[in-house]
Structure 1
Amino acid sequence: MAARTIRPPAVSGLFYPASARSLQATLAAHFARATPASLPAAPKALIVPHAGYDYSGIVAASGYNQLTPFASRIRRVVLFGPAHRVPLLGLALPQASAFRTPLGDVPLDMHAWNEALKLPQVEVSDRAHELEHSLEVQLPFLQSILPSFTLVPFVVGWTDPAHVARVMEALWDGPETLILVSSDLSHYHPYDEARALDQATIERILQGDATITPDDACGAIAIDGLLLAARRRQLQPHVIAYCNSGDTFGDRDRVVGYTSIAFTEEVRHGAEAIH
């Protein structure tokens, strides 16, 4: 097996600022404008977007704000993001021992790495991780909120959502572990059409409908896997924020949708919806 390395940033200066000072200022601005913490319990799982920070940063920050009251207890993040650059069957871990951002290095949980590799749907592929942004863009947000944490990063390719759910449940553990799914919503529809499509997708997520497709959300397979696991664990979903790129940074002819949805471990009293 190849020697372990540090996975360097691939999209700093593109999706987010390359300097630590500029990145910290950008994050602080997004957190200040984001939805504040409001959940009745600690999030066990989050769905957050992964576009450039100018586009989806406030929606992502709204999701991450929900971790603030509970940040000291979260010590491990199990992260799932869709493959954008490399064709992939199953799920891929990197060979790296840490991921680097302008804010520092995030170490991988090597015990969890080894446990996940016991599952047949998980392989090691540095190529799948090399240029993938869906995982990387989440790390500066996490570094801003959590005092210290390790990472278990999965690029998710074409696979059965039940296989993703199996990985999640294998690494579920207690309140020290956060399950994180990186996904945008609809892509390149006109503004009003996109809002209608995204509202329908969000409603399906709130109802636990694990048949979301890549046309609905680019991280659909991981979302469906989370919904399968959430159903078994009786998690309750909470919509934290929604917008699309027509609201933030771009024209309204071809937009991309973004949402943050948190899942808490409590008895479900009814679905919530955006208005």
Structure 2
Amino acid sequence: MEIRNPVFADHFYPGDPTTLKSMIETFISQAGAVPEDEICGAVAPHAGYQFSGGVAVLSHLAYKDEEFDRIMIIGPSHKSYFWEPRVDNRSHWRTPLGDSEIDQVAVDHLVSSGIVADSGVFDPEHSLEVQLPFIQVISPGTKIVPVIVGDQGFDSCKKLGDAISRLPGKTFVIASSDLYHGYSLDECRRIDNHTIETVLGLDPERFSQELTAERAMACGGGPIVALLQHCRQAGVGSAKMLRYTNSNEVMGVSGGYCVGYVSIVFLR
């Protein structure tokens, strides 16, 4: 077995397994209702759990009562740039809660569609790892497919979305993304409102254009474009925002650096 070991335990989330599981279970108990419609994917934030865990959990609860062949996590690369999306072809990812198996059938299908198999770019990236403990608690034993996006332009992300739609079986897709990053709470709310409205419009080209024009902001904009393209191919009819907040609201302050967090689910 070739395993990716946890890199961000005790940084973005607790490294102690008992504490980590208890924190996620608390998020679940406080989450409230999730739509009972058939849901094929979600946007989930990837900040430290104390900031965005209460939002991210809603995105993960969307697959709680359905059986999927795999859960794909698409994250942006914060550390390096590359053109083609990458899929990790190792055997497992590990967190303090245990190991999750990578779905090699899905990996092979993605590679045949032109997605590059490359494990090295995943190790320094947190945006995928922070999603995994939620999966291990909410849907233990479900296989995963880690995918990372370097170039967030429309063409490469559309290619990824189309490749996802050709996978056999049922795939739940998590697009890992925070929203606004900056120093104005008012600007955060205004830009995030526009970003969310654009995502809810289910138009991958328009969302990509708004990102390029900097009218929308999302560090995982490319993963969201790929998810929107997959939703288009899958016949998704609507999307719903479940929860929004930002780091200033979480901390109870009105100044300083501010990051936006949202949970959006996509309904068939």
Q: Scaled by the length of structure 1, what TM-score is found? A: 0.87
Identity of aligned residues (%): 31
Match of 1:11 in 2: 8
Q: Answer yes or no: is the 8 Å Cα contact 1:80–1:156 preserved in 2.
A: yes
1:127-164 residue CA offsets vs partner (Å, 9 max, x unmatched):
21011111000001111111321111111011543433
Aligned to 2:158: 165
Given that residues 128 and 146 in structure 2 are in contact (C-alpha distance below 8 angstroms), is that contact kept between their aligned partners in structure 1? Answer: yes
Distance 1:93 1:231 in 2: 22
Residue from 263, 268, 273 that aligns with 2:266: 263
2: CA distance between counterparts of 1:174 and 1:119? 13
Q: CA deviation at 1:8?
A: 0.2
Contact 2:92 2:99 in 1 (8 A): yes
| Distance (whole Å) between structure 1 residues aligned to residue 112 and residue 183 of structure 2 | 41
Task: Give matches, 1:114-263, under 5 Å.
Answer: 114-120=108-114, 122-172=115-165, 173=167, 176-208=170-202, 209-211=206-208, 212-213=210-211, 216-235=217-236, 236-249=238-251, 251=253, 252-263=255-266
Q: Offset at 1:248?
A: 1.4
Aligned amino acid, residue 110 of structure 2? A
Deviation at 1:171, TM superposition (A): 3.4
Q: Residue by residue, what CA displacement relative to the aligned partner does 1:97-131 show, whole Å, maximum 9, x if unpaired?
A: 100011110111111111111233x2232221011
Cα distance in 2 for residues equivalent to 1:146 and 1:6:
20
Q: Paired residue for 1:270? A: none
Taking only aligned residues, the RMSD between alpha carbons, in angstroms, comes to 1.9
Q: Is the 8 A contact 1:129 1:155 kept in 2?
A: yes
Residue by residue, what CA displacement relative to the aligned partner does 1:137-196 show, whole Å, maximum 9, x if unpaired? 000111111132111111101154343333334333577320111000010231121011
Q: Which residue of 2 aligns with 1:49?
A: 45
Please list every run of 5 or more consecutive structure 2 residues that lacks an aligned counterpart in the other structure: none
Paired with 1:126 and 1:65, the residues of 2 have a C-alpha distance of 28
Say if 1:174 and 1:117 are closer, same or farther in 2 by CA, change over 3 A: closer
The alpha carbon displacement at 1:203 in A equals 0.5
For residues 197 and 98 of structure 2, the distance between their equivalents in structure 1, rounded to whole angstroms, comes to 37
The letter for the 1-side match of 2:108 is: N
Letter in structure 2 aligned against 1:264: L
SS in 2 for 1:257: strand
Going from structure 1 to structure 2, the CA distance change for 1:229 and 1:75 (only over 3 Å counts) comes to closer
Tell me which moved more, 122-131 or 53-62.
122-131
* Counterpart amino acid of residue 17 in structure 1: P
CA distance in 2, matches of 1:118, 1:174: 13
Return the offset for 1:33.
2.1
- Listed as ranges, the gaps of 5+ residues in structure 1 are 266-275
Aligned equivalents of 2:95, 2:30: Cα separation in 1 = 23
> TM-score, normalised to structure 2's length?
0.89
Kindly state the Cα deviation for residue 92 of structure 1 after the two structures are TM-superposed. Answer: 1.2
Report deviation, 1:224: 1.6
